[in-house]
Copies of this chain bind each other. A is one copy, B any other.
Amino acid sequence: MKITPRVKRILDNYESDNPGTKANLARMLMQGRLAGTGKLVILPVDQGFEHGPARSFAVNPAAYDPHYHFQLAIDAGLSAYASVLGMIEAGAGTFAGQIPLILKVNSANSLSTNKDQAVHGSVKDALRLGCAAIGFTIYPGSEDQYGMFEEIRAMGEEAKANGLAVVIWSYPRGGKLPKSGELAIDVSAYAAHMAAMLGAHIIKVKLPSDHVEQEDAKKSYEGIDTSTQAKRVEHVVQSCFAGRRIVVFSGGAAKGADDVFQDARDIRDGGGNGSIIGRNTFQRSREDALAMLDKLVAIYKGAE
């Protein structure tokens, strides 16, 4: 498989990484129907851990089976599949070599009493399961944020030394931050920048609103156009080393297909690298999900 010039330019931005890590980034960028475009659509399935199995899968019972998701990601021609230890273990053998895997190594759950996550996977797990990357969530602003930063510091160092890529989910919450500020453009761009500073290869944030939360940041945003979603994506991408890092956005809660498509167009137009889209796929029937992902891929190819 020959790397395209666009992918080559992206890889060149990771100038301090070893060939192992670059090869794993390339595996994701050269996988599926978006191979070579510099765009990524990733299927994440950790919602069972975060919200419980029935809330995640009852609407589409086939999705209780871990194999379902591997197969969906492969058949839809996606770039990678991300899930947690047990779920990856349950399919990594059957689907070995068919799609790059991201081992999500920490999770929260809806019974929890604090703004933290439990680390339940390791770099060694990722290696023995043939994964291309580890995924880790940070909660900037949380009372536990520094602990989370120190966990990913250690795991990121180990991942990079072993030729894996590092994906950071950066979700501001907790501490002094009101619920209303979690999606604010200043907070989102800050969260994305922190993930970049922490050494992430791929940064995942939510699509931001045009609210500015921090008093001290208001003046700086006077000259920044955040009036459209595409402009806000552009600002987040700029905040990740002026585009030197891959930035993908989450689909959020299940919603109408048209909204999903519009989000993707905005991500594309703002220069984002793609989507991580879970509930909006596996909570539809396989047929509907494939149709939606087909269109999503087309959007990222610039065809819609």
A residues neighboring B (CB under 8 Å): 13-17, 48-49, 51-55, 58-59, 61, 64-66, 84-94, 107, 109-114, 116-122, 124-125, 128-129, 140-141, 143, 145-147, 149-150, 153, 157, 161, 172, 175-177, 186-187, 189-190, 193-194, 196-200, 214, 216-217, 220-221, 223-224, 235, 238-239, 241-242, 244-245
Q: A54-B221, A129-B16, A146-B117 are in contact. Are A197 and B84 (CB under 8 A)?
A: yes
- Please pick, from B59, B92, B124, B245, the residue contacting A16 in the complex, using a CB distance under 8 A: B92
- Whether B220 lies near A90 (C-beta < 8 A) is no
CA distance in complex: A157, B127 (Å): 12
Q: Are B146 and A90 in contact (CB under 8 A)?
A: no
Nearest Cβ distance between residue A95 and chain B, in whole angstroms? 9
A48 to B65, CA, bound (A): 38
Copies of the chain in the assembly: 5
Q: Is the CB of A85 within 8 A of B198?
A: yes
Interface core residue of A88, A141, A198 (most chain B CB under 10 Å): A198
Given A86-B198, A199-B86, A118-B244 contact (CB < 8 Å): no
How far, in whole Å, are A187 and B179 apart by their CA atoms in the complex? Answer: 26
B220 touching A59 by the CB < 8 A rule?
yes
How long is the Cα–Cα vector from A49 to B192 in the complex, in angstroms?
10
Closest to A104 in B: B197
Bound-complex Cα distance A161 to B128 (A) = 10
Separation of A244 and B122 alpha carbons in the complex (Å):
22
**Further contacts, 14 of them, CB under 8 A, given A55-B220, A61-B238:** A15-B94, A52-B189, A59-B220, A86-B199, A89-B199, A110-B190, A110-B214, A110-B216, A111-B145, A111-B176, A112-B141, A118-B147, A120-B199, A122-B157
Contact, CB under 8 Å: A52 / B186: yes
- Docked-complex contact A111 and B172, CB < 8 angstroms: yes
Q: What is the chain B residue whose CB lies nearest that of A239?
A: B53
